[in-house]
Chains A and B, each alone.
Chain A
Amino acid sequence: MLFNSLNFAIFLPIVFILYWFVAKNNVKFQNVLLLIASYFFYACWDWRFMFLLMFSTLLDYVTGLKMQNAENQKGKRFWFWLSIITNLGFLAVFKYYNFFAESFTKVVSQIGWEISPMLINVILPVGISFYTFHGLSYVIDIYNNKIKAEKNIIDYAVFVSFFPLLVAGPIERATHLLPQIKKERKFDYTKSVDGLRQILWGLFKKIVIADSCAEYVNLTFNSSIEVSGIDLLIGAFFFSFQIYGDFSGYSDIALGTARLFGIDLLRNFAFPYFSRDIAEFWRRWHISLSSWFKDYLYIPLGGSKGGNWMRIRNTFIIFIVSGFWHGANWTFIAWGILNALFIMPSILFKSNRNNIEIVAKGKYLPSLKDFIQISITFTLVTFLWIFFRAENITHAFNYIYNIFSISFFTIPTILSKRLALLITFLMFIEWVGRDEQYAIAKIGLQWNKIMRWSFYLAIAYTVMLHFGSKEEFIYFQF
């Protein structure tokens, strides 16, 4: 069930009404209802993979309790590694097995051995990377004595499979979400309206911006040999907006939906395209994944404590792993490596924490320096997205090579006035609302009711006009 589907538009109000009217203020009933709704939501994709989700949930629930009750460190370690290996094993089989098998075959064929790889014909269970990471953080936190194991299996299962975050995050932490699941939740009008507003903005980003950009992006990336250099460049910039609209739009819908049920999820995006350097970009893009890798990989590896070499090594490791997390393709690994390279100067010169606050805080416009830095960062990020979007490394290099061809100096054919206008509107609203959790969180609150409603209706109307043939969310495949 897609967030941008009629099915979800029916599903959500039903669950909402049952949650607040039938389960009312009884947290146990509310959680049972959320669990049933979440499993139903997941089963709508492929009910068979629901059993994998259930198994993964049960495994981490049991190993969590076993670790807590273990009599000695050895026993605790056993259960810890059982969970880690099993979780990563599922991920490896479903997501990476074919990639490794094919890569191995290519390598051995270089030395003259011809073998045919045994590939498995299985589709990637939607959301596996996300719920596996939920489970891993829970198990690691128990192992490190940061949290106590959850005794109530329903509460734990809701933590893993809460439907707004189930298939594309944000990647939650037990320390943040579990206490909210266990706590009594009462209806809060302001919070619910805020949630609806965030859903509306998420739908705008996904349906209006991302899906519109997708038409042009597909054209340029699928025919990169025939398309002119200038069109390829425009296509690359459109992909920057597509992936931002797609993923941050999804996150906004997820956060807004969770808020309707009285639950606050972790923030996933903080206006990343207004970043002044790559380090700032990575503090603002897919925050829940970046912080996950920081806490569970970068810091355990020693972080930045061991001098420059340690810092360089660890930075490369987390970016390569992060790239690989996105998909079993060398393009994602290249994307990770290039990100590490681009961030390296600021790490070596210790300027990676220069830009913590949002740009031009409290001002209408950025300074010239800020503007130049934002433009450079955005261009670099766009360059990196080419690797992310390309079919393979050769495709990515060809795409870049073809941009710098003589056809760069021709009149663009894919420049759409409508899309340019919509992107300008998006960036304007995002700029105005950049101090808030999401762009339209406060816009219009001071206006009179007619103005405010007109603003929301205009956005909703634009969204309606951009419905039609549906594009899946890019991040579902991860």
Chain B
Amino acid sequence: MEKILSRPKALKDNPLSYCPGCGHGIIHRLIAESIDELGIREKTIAVAPVGCAVFAYDYFNFDTTEAPHGRPPAVATGIKRTNPDKIVFTYQGDGDLAAIGTAETIHCANRGENITVIFVNNANYGMTGGQMAPTTLIGQVTETTPFGRDPLREGYPIKVSELLANLQGTKYIERVTVFNAPHIIKAKKAIKKAFQNQVEGKGYSFIEVISHCPVDWGKTPLESVKWVEDVFLKTFPLGVIKDETK
């Protein structure tokens, strides 16, 4: 027998510190596999968010930098513009990307920076203990929406992918999920394409990954993946939202 699937080289051999059942580890692996397959590990520079993935440098086996909360698109812009030959991506959660970093996200997209953005949407602030995120669903109970998100009080879940699709600067936007194996395989294709686009100079690619956060959702890992399928995806339907790369 020969080994057919194992940890990609672009992922360091360190234990991941995420909670049991968390989707981040899966998404990290998909990125690492894409980078290995495209042969770009040695020229990749990642920008980590503030949030659960803040320790990305412990996991990714290529150059990484920190950025202040919400600012990865600005930091990535600074990197890419001065180093157009490098592959630059941001890895951001919903708080980082869709709340505090809204301006940076929109303007980076609108400038059409030739970068890749991996947006992990798990409908809450994981690192700080499960507070409401901009993407929290209507009625969803979080640390700061104990009565469920009420649109009259907290507004509506932001659909960043659809929002960004309206901007001329964006070239490829897809929403994927990682709650089961077939979807994970699809998510991998999207992520790889988002990096491939950058390699080919096609411009701004944005992948929204609907992910599970069992501990902060107060659910078991199995309940969580089921909730993604039955509830979460109703508000955030999957699919290619924009593709101008052809």
Are A and B associated in one complex? Answer: no
